[in-house]
Structure 1
Amino acid sequence: MEIWKHPSDVPSDLANTVVTIGIFDGVHRGHHAILAKTVAVAQEKHSYAIALTFDPHPRLVHNPDEKLNLVSSLEDRIQRLESAGIDAVYVQHYDLSYAELSPNDFIQHQLIDELHAGSVVVGEDVRFGQHNSGDGVFLLHEGTRLGLDVYLIDDLCDDDGRRWSSTWVRELLSKGDVGGAAHVLGRPHRIRGIVQHGFKRGRELGFPTANLTGNNLGEVPVEGVYAGWLVQKVPGTDANVYLPAAISVGDNPQFDGKQRTVEAHVLGRSDLDLYGEEIAVDFIEWLRPMVKFDSVDSLLHQMDEDLRRSAEILGVPVAKRVDPKSVTAGINLHLPR
């Protein structure tokens, strides 16, 4: 799949492309239908299927003080669009100057002149142009005038009639319902970050962890302990390794922690060296709230149970806590290809 960020990146010999428009945060089930239609129309017309997306999120540009964590990073968003069959993604840098583009100019200059659109596929709630003044009805009208085929896709809902949305995903994650979030997304919720050095308390207790901190991880579920997967890229390839993990989200109340972190312990492994490496964490199931225990022994007993339940949920062999002396962080791990 091709990734374009400037008009000059777009091949000049393209014609009659099929373009879909959206932020596609999370690339959830509602997006899937729009993307499937985009790909189908492109195949029918023997043309390119293009997704026009925006970075940073427009809400963060218009309301810079707003706290908004994206459900998925731009990298994950692009990967999901590729998996859906999209041929190229145009990542439009969004700023206040771009936001002043009129709906007419957006259609003529960006969709037709820059992206060579012959067809556009969008959800019925589409908004575009200055002050979001362009909508589906306007797009249909202008499409007829300009010879642009426009496909408006009805909102898709679950069996109870609720519309699939990234807002719904955030709502579920705020309750720790990562299973529900996976239902809306069509896959487990994922965050991504760089592994940082921590206080190494987990290592000392036999539970070495990969620690993620900061405000750029994405939408982190509510504090608690989860079963999930640590996803590590195989060096030099596009392949990933999925490692079963028990994951804690919180500020470590047992040791009076002050900073909220995401700590993933790969079950039974003491040989991982992940410092400075970008990893992803997939959340599968909520296990329990984050609480302070009466003693470290009580904490250890509960953590042993967390390992057992995580292994059971993930369908892998049960692993016990590791010998702290066996932890080899600092030694490169060479994963099999």
Structure 2
Amino acid sequence: MRLSAGEALPESLRGAVAAIGNFDGVHRGHQAVLSHALADADAAGLPVLALTFEPHPRAFFNPATPLFRLTPAAMKARLLELMGFDGVVELAFTRDFAERSAEAFVSDVLVGELGISVAVTGFDFHFGHNRQGDPAFLADAGRRHGFDVRLVDAFCDEGAEIISSSRIRPLLQEGDVAGAAGLLGYRFTVEAEVIDGQKLGRTLGYPTANMTLPSETALAHGIYAVRFRRADGSLYDGVASFGRRPTVTADGAPLLETFLFDFEGDLYGETCDVSFFGFLRGEEKFDGLEALVAQMDRDAAEARAALARVRPLSELDLALSFSSER
């Protein structure tokens, strides 16, 4: 259940274990916090919620600086559902909310609106006006208001570096989707509606499902081996181009164009997922359509070979990019 601002929490979800944070990316570091919440809820027989903030506080405080969201709200909720959360509560991060004291956040939201039994957060979680609420404040507030608090230490990768969203974004900006997947614990995935296009790909023998991604998406322009999930859950391997299509347009807006292997049909209007498994090459401008098609043939063959060898990175990756259940 995904609840946004103003929606009342069902009585069945009151008294839950609540994981609190932005969780942009739902990466392996976040999953350490989230897994503790899931384990606590399972042990106590309680529902489990994720408490997040929309828009991302960084986007709110710096609106002039675009923030590359690894997981916009809908994708974040999808990942949390796949992990086993009963609900996602998206608090509206407004000026009034930002100026609310730490004590008011605890008493009004955690206790009054949600009635939580346990709060689970990362070791560096801060909240309230001027970040006055820290883990020690939260632990003391829990004792006063009657809920438990679990603080989870930073999660490090195999190189002993802390995993963070700020490490993942530059990897995707460079096209290193494999490196990003190692930190995410699953393949980077986008979700969007398939829209009508110029249909040039169809005349070239490569009909594509076209998607417009959020303008702040800073994924490197280029060609990728991908897996495509339809709205009904069916999966198809494919090859995708993300970029401005310099061979056929003078100054096109960035577009994600995916050619699905072994597929025929109409996808217009469907909201679908594309998971990125490998970066094949950067975007290029070719000297005519014949040269473009010849390269597309090579890209498709390389993508097929790469995808034939892939294996799930985790249970979350299995559910997101390998299982036919949506």
TM-score of the superposed pair, with normalisation by structure 1: 0.86
In structure 2, the residue matched to 1:324 is none
| Kept in 2: contact 1:7–1:114 (CA 8 A) | no
Give the Cα–Cα distance (whole angstroms) in 2 for the partners of residues 175 and 222 of structure 1: 5
Amino acid at match of 1:223: H
In structure 1, the residue matched to 2:272 is 279
Give the Cα–Cα distance (whole angstroms) in 2 for the partners of residues 11 and 305 of structure 1: 53
Task: Give the secondary-structure state (helix, strand or coil) at the position aligned to 1:66.
Answer: coil
Q: How does 1:1-337 map to 2 (within 5 A)?
A: 2-5=1-4, 9-12=8-11, 16-213=15-212, 215=214, 219-234=217-232, 240-258=233-251, 259-269=253-263, 271-315=264-308
1:138-194 deviation digits (Å, cap 9, x = unpaired): 212222333331111000010112211222221110010001111111111111212
Give the Cα–Cα distance (whole angstroms) in 2 for the partners of residues 191 and 257 of structure 1: 26
Task: Give the secondary-structure state (helix, strand or coil) at the position aligned to 2:117.
Answer: strand
Give the Cα–Cα distance (whole angstroms) in 1 for the partners of residues 14 and 249 of structure 2: 61
TM-score of the superposed pair, with normalisation by structure 2: 0.89
Give the Cα–Cα distance (whole angstroms) in 2 for the partners of residues 140 and 104 of structure 1: 12
Displacement after TM superposition at 1:121 (Å):
0.7
In structure 2, the residue matched to 1:331 is none
Please give the root-mean-square deviation of Cα atoms over the aligned residues, in Å: 2.1
Give the Cα–Cα distance (whole angstroms) in 2 for the partners of residues 169 and 223 of structure 1: 16
Amino acid at match of 1:225: I
In structure 2, the residue matched to 1:320 is none
1:208-238 deviation digits (Å, cap 9, x = unpaired): 111112535x73520110000121111xxxx
Which runs of 5 or more structure 1 residues have no equivalent in the other structure?
A: 235-239, 317-336
* Greater mean alpha carbon deviation, residues 297-306 or residues 10-19: 10-19
* Greater mean alpha carbon deviation, residues 17-26 or residues 303-312: 17-26
| Kept in 2: contact 1:62–1:96 (CA 8 A) | no
Task: Give the secondary-structure state (helix, strand or coil) at the position aligned to 1:137.
Answer: helix
| Kept in 2: contact 1:19–1:121 (CA 8 A) | yes
Name the larger-Rg structure: 1
Alpha carbons of 1:246 and 1:12: their partners in 2 closer, same or farther (altered >3 Å)? closer
Give the Cα–Cα distance (whole angstroms) in 2 for the partners of residues 62 and 295 of structure 1: 46
Task: Give the secondary-structure state (helix, strand or coil) at the position aligned to 2:137.
Answer: helix
Task: Give the secondary-structure state (helix, strand or coil) at the position aligned to 1:206.
Answer: coil
1:74-110 deviation digits (Å, cap 9, x = unpaired): 1221121122222222121221111111001111111
Amino acid at match of 2:63: P
Give the Cα–Cα distance (whole angstroms) in 2 for the partners of residues 263 and 9 of structure 1: 39
Alpha carbons of 1:307 and 1:6: their partners in 2 closer, same or farther (altered >3 Å)? closer
| Kept in 1: contact 2:228–2:236 (CA 8 A) | yes
1:240-276 deviation digits (Å, cap 9, x = unpaired): 111111101111111244122111011243x221222
Amino acid at match of 1:246: V
Displacement after TM superposition at 1:13 (Å):
6.6
| Kept in 1: contact 2:209–2:267 (CA 8 A) | yes
Which runs of 5 or more structure 2 residues have no equivalent in the other structure?
A: 310-325
| Kept in 1: contact 2:75–2:190 (CA 8 A) | no
| Kept in 1: contact 2:231–2:270 (CA 8 A) | no
Displacement after TM superposition at 1:282 (Å):
0.8
